[in-house]
Amino acid sequence: MKNRSKAIWAIAAANFRYLVPAYIVTGVFLLVGVYNLIASLTGLIDNNYVDIANYFYVFAVIAPIIIVSRNFKRVMYLNGSKHDFYFGCFLNYVIGAGSISLIDIIIFLIAKNTLGSTLVIWNLVDVFGWWEHGMVIAYVQQFSFLLLIEIFMHTLTSIQNRWYGWVMDIILAAILIVFIPISELRSLLVQFFNLIIFNQRISPQIFSCLFLSVLIYMLYLPILQRKKI
């Protein structure tokens, strides 16, 4: 059991080491955020400042894609097992979601306290209404949503070379194309996003994100078991 835990931690650490492209892309977006901040402070653009912390969401989207498409083979060639990879990746996403959420909260607090009197600060934790419930609850809500994003991207990427991956892509595209123009279907889509993002009640938003995360990641297990190196 102890050796298995070490293997899982080792795979999670290896995944983080191999995420250089995600770090670079996120860094580029952060530079854009720094430019926007300077431009807002100097009057080059209006005083609506998109908080630099928002750009860390880019990492939550890109990291799972790289882990699935590139890191899996690397880990397997290092004699890692699929079981350890499965739980190691989950550990990556828990740490990633927790870290991004913490960084976002800290940066938003600093921005509000130092720039709030001169700039209109747009941060997703505030836009989504999570900040209304306080800093701690906002952290948990953001963590739950980010975890769902990471696991969804992980599982979706893992099936792209399968026929059911193409089916899922078509279904997702159909949802956007068909649901949005039709008011009845659009309301269902809005209700779903209200459930996982804009829900005024704390518990349903958190538990729906966590439930979907666990469910989607459980669906990834049989996909991983059949995956060839």
162-196 pLDDT, tens digit per residue, is 767 777 878 888 777 877 778 777 888 889 999 99
* Domain annotation covers residue 12: yes
123-152 pLDDT, tens digit per residue, is 999 999 999 999 999 999 999 999 999 999
pTM: 0.93
* Domain annotation covers residue 60: yes
Q: How many domains does the chain have?
A: 1
DSSP label at residue 201: S
Decide: residue 75, CB within 10 A, 0-12 exposed, 13-18 middle, 19+ buried: buried
Higher pLDDT, 78 or 45: 45
The answer, yes or no, to whether residue 2 has pLDDT greater than 90, is: no
Domain containing 123 equals 2-135
* Domain annotation covers residue 23: yes
